[in-house]
């Protein structure tokens, strides 16, 4: 399947899945709910074929390609989690984001060539992708958790996306499980990074490393506070979003400056 056709098919499938979920939320029972995950899986599989190279070219980790890769990881993680937890409503946010990042990478971003990756970097990138995906979904759940708590105070739990979410306690429990798993993977990301770092300054990794460690500390404090003092609610939401923002700056902020502003290899 040609790249343009495959990309268009994946983008349309992502958007269609999000629209079906939105209709189901707005007018229950809405369109057949089973069709949205099918479209989501189709889009994610085509997206994966594009990212990992239908012609065995390897994985492109340049700025826009890396954004598309993370979009795919978030969409796939949402689909996998939805197999055991009722988080299909997240598709309204996640699927359009994945479609947008794929479209920008394929149709708007300058052409780039995948770089040959040694096994150490491949392992590091795999841990990073999984960590970013899990923690990104946790951040989305944190926002929705804040909306649920606000709706609870206003006694408006039967409206919009709130209605499609699991009960508040389950949303919170799932958020912390994702953070815990993401924290473990982020730890492995930092440890595996040691395998290919020779000179932090020469390899332009100082900011990325420092910010990643700061994010790791934030998530570690949140998990410890949850275990020791039962932290929840607004404090948990703030720390989750802060940790994720720092993590995004660590990777994409540094890549944006190096690749797009300074025209260096990140």
- By the 8 A CB rule, do 171 and 162 touch? no
C-beta neighbour count of 263 within 10 angstroms:
7
For the stretch 10-68, pLDDT in tens is 999 999 999 998 888 777 665 556 789 999 999 999 999 988 875 455 667 778 888 99
Nearest to 75, CA basis, from 45, 33, 105, 53: 45
Q: How far apart are CA 1 and CA 222, in angstroms?
A: 45
Phi-psi category of residue 264: left, alpha or beta, with phi > 0 → left and psi -120 to 50 → alpha: beta
> How does the average pLDDT of the chain come out, rounded?
83
Instruction: Output the pLDDT for position 97.
Output: 96
Q: How far is CA 178 from CA 5, 171, 217, 258, in A?
A: 34, 11, 16, 30
Instruction: Output the pLDDT for position 225.
Output: 97
Range from 127-141, 189-203, 243-257 that averages highest in pLDDT: 127-141
Q: How far is CA 66 from CA 61, 70, 104, 133, 243, in A?
A: 5, 6, 11, 12, 20
Instruction: Output the pLDDT for position 22.
Output: 86
Name the token pair of 149.
């708590």
Q: How far apart are CA 65 and CA 101, in angstroms?
A: 8
């Amino acid at each position: 399947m040609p790249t343009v056709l495959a990309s268009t098919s994946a983008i349309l499938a992502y958007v269609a899945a999000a629209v079906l979920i939105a209709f189901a939320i707005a007018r229950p029972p809405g369109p057949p709910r089973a069709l949205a995950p099918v479209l989501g899986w189709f889009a994610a599989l085509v997206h994966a074929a594009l990212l990992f190279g239908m012609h065995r070219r390897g994985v492109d980790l340049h700025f826009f390609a890396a954004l598309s890769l993370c979009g795919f990881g978030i969409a796939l993680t949402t689909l996998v989690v939805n197999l055991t937890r009722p988080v299909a409503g997240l598709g309204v946010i996640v699927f359009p984001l994945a479609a947008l990042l794929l479209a920008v990478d394929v149709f708007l971003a300058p052409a780039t060539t995948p770089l040959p990756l040694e096994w150490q970097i491949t392992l590091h990138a795999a841990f990073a992708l999984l960590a970013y995906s899990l923690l990104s979904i946790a951040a989305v759940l944190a926002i929705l958790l804040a909306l649920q708590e606000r709706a609870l105070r206003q006694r408006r739990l039967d409206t919009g996306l709130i209605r499609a979410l699991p009960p508040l306690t389950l949303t919170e429990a799932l958020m912390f499980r994702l953070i815990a798993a993401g924290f473990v993977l982020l730890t492995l990301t930092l440890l595996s990074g040691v395998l290919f770092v020779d000179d932090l300054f020469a390899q332009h990794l100082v900011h990325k490393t420092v910010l990643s460690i700061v994010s790791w500390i934030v998530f570690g404090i949140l998990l410890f506070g949850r275990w020791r003092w039962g932290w929840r609610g607004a404090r948990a939401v703030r720390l989750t979003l802060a940790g994720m923002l720092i993590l995004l700056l660590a990777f994409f902020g540094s890549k944006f400056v190096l690749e797009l502003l300074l025209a260096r290899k990140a």
